[in-house]
Structure 1
Amino acid sequence: MGAVKGVSTIDAPTRSRLTRVILESGPSTAAVLADRLELTPAAVRRHLDHLITDGLVEARDQRSYGQRGRGRPAKVFAITAIGRDRFQHDYDDLAASALRFLAETGGDDAVAAFADQRMADLEERIRPRLEQAPEADRPALLARAMSDEGFAASISSTPAGAQMCQHHCPVAHVAAEFPQMCEAEAAMFSRLLGTHVQRLATIAHGDGVCTTHLPASPTTTERAPS
């Protein structure tokens, strides 16, 4: 990612790293970013202020998943569409090149193993939000968690369950060449919800959104009144 107009050559590498961490990790607090980058919170906030001024990052209120304590909610910082577009090209080229090398040296199974590991890491972050919730609430919680990871997901009810739409995919260009990425994500959804899911459309294949049918789980169906 090139230096932004008005950014010194000294600060540019740090702000590029900061942008990358937010892009890969999703909306994050200044404290989390400071820990990831091994900087002081004050230094991170200074860089964030510049990135916000340049339109590359925006501040949002942090989502609350339980009873919130007193005081103002912590701010999280997320990549804007401008920031994502500026960063996306170089990131996609690097990721695609790495996966091509992996495919050439280890074959398709190696690419699939990489995709599975990537989704396992994401699943580990998401699972605690779902495992204590009623089964009927899990699709909505999954969509919310995917949004927090940068996928801009929404959920709607259907007669046979729910349908989740992901309006953004951070790895769409890579997934267009390596469908193992989409397959691993769908498998993760199935594990988290305890039911087979059906992918109806993907951004990687040229559709406007990634759409996934999430059937009601077998136990939910069994408990439904006849």
Structure 2
Amino acid sequence: MREDAGGPGRAAATGSNAPENDAHAGTRNKVARSILVHGPSTAADLAERLDLTAAAVRRHLDALLTEGVIEAREQRVYGHRGRGRPAKVFALTDAGRGSFHQEYDVLAADALHFLAEVAGEDAVMAFARSRVAALETKYLPVVEKAPEDKRAEALAEALSADGYAANARQTPGGEQLCQHHCPVAHVAERFPQLCEAETEVFARLLGTHVQRLATLAHGDGVCTTHVPKNVTGRNPA
């Protein structure tokens, strides 16, 4: 059943009780989590996805904007752009992502900074590759079992099981592997080697040279990796 726009408004006018406030907070959390999982979303996307009225979604979005959990952006348009202004999309802020259990960022960044000072940047890259080696070993059997045209989707499902909120979608010339959550995004802002090592693993798993188009670490709403068509084997040429 869709949440009606009048209900919460009436409660606010007559004095809301704690259970009702908890319900609204729970719905706001669902809105924020939907943006986390699916990436930057329009109000219409959220209303359909969560079975809410447009007015209810706008109310929750306004609250999340006020709290600094999300920010409004102009929707990025690929290819030909039609008439009119692009739809507004809502994306999580750094603070919003931080509420989803991104912890120990400062400690991890300080440790890598110390490693870079003591042993050099190559040591940081070696650490990054070592970190994702376990993921490669874990995901390899899952990806290899999938048909060649489903490997990106299989990898996305494996990443999602580990909390990366990933999905694969068809695009002209191939697919896009999207990760809507990254537990090390704040650290990767200072140490892009973490993203580079992960991209190398994706290339080996999918058997092709992939290209990173966007990253959460660089302030984009989602980590996006282009996977070209004609994946023929696990080891890229």
TM-score normalised by the chain length of structure 1: 0.58
Cα deviation, residue 88, structure 1: 2.4
Instruction: Return the alpha-carbon distance in structure 1 between the equivalents of residues 146 and 222 of structure 2.
Output: 27
Cα deviation, residue 85, structure 1: 2.2
The residue aligned with 1:151 is 164
The residue aligned with 1:171 is 184
Instruction: Return the alpha-carbon distance in structure 1 between the equivalents of residues 101 and 135 of structure 2.
Output: 21
Residue 198 of structure 1: which of 189, 203, 211 is its match?
211
Cα deviation, residue 131, structure 1: 1.1
Cα deviation, residue 84, structure 1: 6.0
Tell me the amino acid that sits aligned with residue 88 of structure 1: Q
TM-score normalised by the chain length of structure 2: 0.55
- 1:101-180 aligned within 5 A: 101-180=114-193
The residue aligned with 1:40 is none
> How well do the aligned residues superpose, as a CA RMSD in angstroms?
2.0
Instruction: Return the alpha-carbon distance in structure 1 between the equivalents of residues 194 and 97 of structure 2.
Output: 23
Tell me the amino acid that sits aligned with residue 114 of structure 1: F
* Compared CA separation, residues 86 and 145, structure 1 to 2 (3 A): closer
| Cα offsets for 1:135-167 (capped at 9, x unmatched) | 111010011111111110111102311111111
SS in 2 for 1:140: helix
* Compared CA separation, residues 166 and 218, structure 1 to 2 (3 A): closer
The residue aligned with 1:211 is 224
Question: In the comparison of the two structures, how many residue pairs are matched?
Answer: 139
* Compared CA separation, residues 116 and 217, structure 1 to 2 (3 A): farther
SS in 1 for 2:183: coil
* Compared CA separation, residues 86 and 194, structure 1 to 2 (3 A): closer
The residue aligned with 1:65 is none
Tell me the amino acid that sits aligned with residue 191 of structure 2: F
| Cα offsets for 1:64-121 (capped at 9, x unmatched) | xxxxxxxxxxxxxxxxx999627424x1011111101110111100000000011111
Instruction: Return the alpha-carbon distance in structure 1 between the equivalents of residues 105 and 153 of structure 2.
Output: 29
* Compared CA separation, residues 218 and 126, structure 1 to 2 (3 A): closer
Asked whether the 8 Å contact 2:207–2:232 carries over to 1, the reply is no
The residue aligned with 1:58 is none
Asked whether the 8 Å contact 2:148–2:231 carries over to 1, the reply is no
Asked whether the 8 Å contact 1:193–1:217 carries over to 2, the reply is no
Pairing 1:95–2:95 present: no
Instruction: Return the alpha-carbon distance in structure 2 between the equivalents of residues 179 and 82 of structure 1.
Output: 21
Instruction: Return the alpha-carbon distance in structure 2 between the equivalents of residues 82 and 206 of structure 1.
Output: 13
Alignment gaps of 5+ in structure 1 = 1-80, 221-226
* Compared CA separation, residues 218 and 122, structure 1 to 2 (3 A): closer
Alignment gaps of 5+ in structure 2 = 1-94
Instruction: Return the alpha-carbon distance in structure 1 between the equivalents of residues 117 and 186 of structure 2.
Output: 19
Cα deviation, residue 132, structure 1: 2.3
| Cα offsets for 1:40-81 (capped at 9, x unmatched) | xxxxxxxxxxxxxxxxxxxxxxxxxxxxxxxxxxxxxxxxx9
Asked whether the 8 Å contact 2:206–2:231 carries over to 1, the reply is no
